[in-house]
Amino acid sequence: MKHIAYFGGTFDPVHSAHLSIARRLTEIFSFDRFCFLPAFHAPHKPDQVPTSALHRYAMLCLATAGDARLFVSSHEIDQREKRYTINTIPELCAQHPDDRIYFIIGADSWADIKTWRQWEDLLLTTDMIVVSRPGVELHTDHVTDEIRERVVDLRGETAFRLPAEPSQTSLYFTDAVRSPVSATQIRADLTDGVLDEPDHLPQEVANYIKKYELYT
């Protein structure tokens, strides 16, 4: 059985915090495969019209091209419509019937989790890893006791052996990455022309943004 991570998000654009999360979590949890899963359109950010899914996908491919452990899944964008995680997870599990799937989110997404479709079902049926984010408190006050009991708090830990045959799913909390970088800030800086060569973007992604005149 392989342990496969899926990291959902808009990745508009992919930045250094996303890549640090992918690399650190792959080390800590010994994932066999780590896949970025760009959304066609983020369902819980209805006001935001993201950059074309193809541009976001291309930037992820450029950012991960040099790392054999990191992959980009076109699963959601291929369907060319809003997708909900509660529907996507069973589809991914069906693609990997002998493996175990882990879904990665940041602390801000965890704070908003009750806005996600069928959030209770999702949290009771999915192995998730929640990554700390500066300025966002990682707590469990907003979820039910049944969900709270699934939390495995790994903050402070630098290695963890995922159980091979767990009887139920878990919600792992980790503070292995503490980066304040945000795509919203990067987009604003690019639009304002504040960042000509942004620090928080891989060079290939910065070049791509310039070439295709994104965020101008």
Q: Exactly one of 89, 131, 176, 205 binds ligand ATP (CB under 6 A); which one? A: 131
Phi, psi of 111 (to 5 degrees): -60, -30
- Find the binding residues for ligand ATP in span 2-21 (CB under 6 A): 9-11, 17-18
> Which residues does residue 125 pair with via DSSP β-bridges, in sequence order?
none
Q: Exactly one of 137, 145, 156, 184 binds ligand ATP (CB under 6 A); which one? A: 184
Count the helix, strand and coil residues of the chain and give each as a percent rounded to the nearest 5.
35, 15, 45
182 contacts ligand ATP (rule: CB under 6 A):
yes
Which residue, 166 or 180, has its beta carbon nearer to ligand ATP? 180
**How is residue 81 written in tokens?**
């419509």
Return the SS3 of 152: strand
> Residues 77, 57: contact at Cβ < 8 Å?
yes
83 contacts ligand ATP (rule: CB under 6 A):
no
Phi, psi of 93 (to 5 degrees): -65, -40
109 contacts ligand ATP (rule: CB under 6 A):
yes
Shortest Cβ distance from residue 92 to ligand ATP (Å)?
Answer: 16
Shortest Cβ distance from residue 39 to ligand ATP (Å)?
Answer: 8
